[in-house]
Amino acid sequence: MKVLVVGGGGREHALVWKLTRSPTVSKIYCAPGNGGIRELAVCLDLDATDIHGLFDFATGNSIDLTVVGPEVPLSMGIVDLFEQKGLRVFGASRGAAQIESSKAFSKDLMKKYRIPTSYYRVFDSPDEAVSYIRETGAPTVVKADGLAAGKGVIICHTVEEAEDAVKMIMVDKLFGDAGERLIVEEFLEGEEASFLAFADGKTVLPMASSQDHKPAYDNDQGPNTGGMGAYSPAPVVTEELHRRIMQDVMIPTVQGMAAEGRPYKGILYAGLMMTADGPKVLEFNARFGDPEAQPILPRMENDLLPVLEACIDGTLDRISLTWKKEASVCVVIAAGGYPGRYEKGTPIGGLEEAASEDGVMVFHAGTALENGKIVSAGGRVLGVTALGPTVREAIEKAYRAVGKISFPGSHFRKDIGMKALKREESA
């Protein structure tokens, strides 16, 4: 079976890595891929957003299944295009992907179907948004409506910070067209968690819990990023909270999308805040999280391919998932300056040494192969992932591997997984 994976980040490297373990997969292509994916798949000179070029490749090369990683091609309608021509493709349709591509749509959906989330208002005018912020005060959260590579959410502790956020998003166009509209919403307190599930339009099959680390620096300081690391499982998601999340969030969302005429097939990702009143949705994503895919997929004992096909065929109710008891921790190594401007083309040392330890996988995110050497080619460069009998041992193993990798200006958080340790120690 020939598979095409769309995307070129750490998430896609983890997907390709997992698919290579499927006995029915004979060849994997990846568009555009990266320096690490090249070791496992044939990388194509096609951008993930070139949906017509990808379609032409899939038809011309008898691709049996296309797996879409990033949100942008989903929002462009790649799944609709492929399905209209009879090609098998895994991912959310354009209408379903709007749950991520428009935060206003997502919030309105949650309000309509009584899915727990924060109070919010949507604005098309910066002046009206500022007036509302002055009236309601801070802390508050200001979000660009559209896709902003995980960086369109600004937590504001003062009214002045919130006013600046509105200006950056709507006037200065920091996130381009994604800031044509914005959402001002209630600031929620608690601990965050990521909850991912497979969906086939009616059945929801949850994955192992995980927790992302969005801010750039230790102790959740600094600007938001696409994610500086993640671990699985997340102890904050207890069995009772897991039940509530499925009952109050995941199942009603898939049912609501079906009622809206947007059957949801693919990955449904809920970014949650565990508040004193229970879990509330911060945002939905229409695809595997990045970096959450990197610690989750190594823990998954199932062959991934039948699960993806069941989502397409509407037979997910016949699938059950099993997970390794081991914990998994992913530490992202970023380029100097990220999430701001950063240099590319910097040679990376120590990759083979880092990957040599048992249970360690170095997933490439922003890398390229130049003159036979792996160099940096993005903001988040690598995701060093380790499995261990406990969270503590997985953390120690991941950071030992991180210590073997070096390139000028690189930085990483040193506290990935610490929230899990604190919970375990206080239990």
**pLDDT tens digit sequence for 274-294:** 999 999 999 999 999 999 999
Q: Is the pLDDT of residue 241 over 90?
A: yes
Q: Which residues contact 232 (CB under 8 A, 6 or more apart)?
A: 208, 209, 210, 211, 292, 295, 296, 299, 327, 328
pLDDT value for 148 = 86
In whole numbers, what is the pLDDT of the chain averaged over residues?
Answer: 96
Rounded CA-CA distance 113/250 in Å is: 11
Q: Is the pLDDT of residue 201 over 70?
A: yes
Coil, strand or helix: which one is 180?
A: coil
Domains in the chain, CATH or no CATH each: 2-93 (3.40.50.20), 119-186 (3.30.1490.20), 191-318 (3.30.470.20), 327-426 (3.90.600.10)
The token pair that represents 72 in the structure block: 């942008």
Unique residue bearing structure tokens 């690490």: 36
In one letter, which amino acid is 188? L
pLDDT tens-digit profile of 244-284? Answer: 999 999 999 999 999 999 999 999 999 999 999 999 999 99
Rounded CA-CA distance 344/368 in Å is: 9
8 touches 37 (CB < 8 A): yes
Cα-only R_g, the chain: 20
Rounded CA-CA distance 427/419 in Å is: 12
pLDDT value for 296 = 98
pLDDT value for 152 = 87
Q: Is the pLDDT of residue 165 over 70?
A: yes
Q: Is the pLDDT of residue 408 over 90?
A: yes
pLDDT value for 427 = 60
pLDDT tier at 149 (50, 70, 90 boundaries)? confident
Global pTM value: 0.95
Q: Are strands 2-7 and 65-68 parallel, antiparallel or unpaired?
A: parallel
Q: Are strands 265-275 and 191-200 parallel, antiparallel or unpaired?
A: antiparallel
Rounded CA-CA distance 141/146 in Å is: 15
Rounded CA-CA distance 300/399 in Å is: 22
The percent of residues in the chain predicted with pLDDT above 90, rounded, is 95
pLDDT tens-digit profile of 375-386? Answer: 999 999 999 999
Strand residues in 82-203 grouped as ranges (E): 89-90, 120-123, 140-144, 153-156, 182-186, 191-200
pLDDT tens-digit profile of 70-120? Answer: 999 999 999 999 999 999 999 999 999 999 999 999 999 999 999 999 999
Rounded CA-CA distance 402/17 in Å is: 20
pLDDT tens-digit profile of 118-143? Answer: 999 999 999 999 999 999 999 999 99
Closest-CA residue to 78 (of 60, 96, 104, 102): 96
The percent of residues in the chain predicted with pLDDT above 70, rounded, is 100
Q: Is the pLDDT of residue 224 over 90?
A: no
Degrees, nearest 5: CA angle 278-203-199: 80
334 touches 411 (CB < 8 A): yes
Strand residues in 58-189 grouped as ranges (E): 65-68, 89-90, 120-123, 140-144, 153-156, 182-186
pLDDT tens-digit profile of 349-361? Answer: 999 999 998 999 9
Strand residues in 146-296 grouped as ranges (E): 153-156, 182-186, 191-200, 204-206, 211-212, 215-217, 221-224, 229-232, 265-275, 278-285
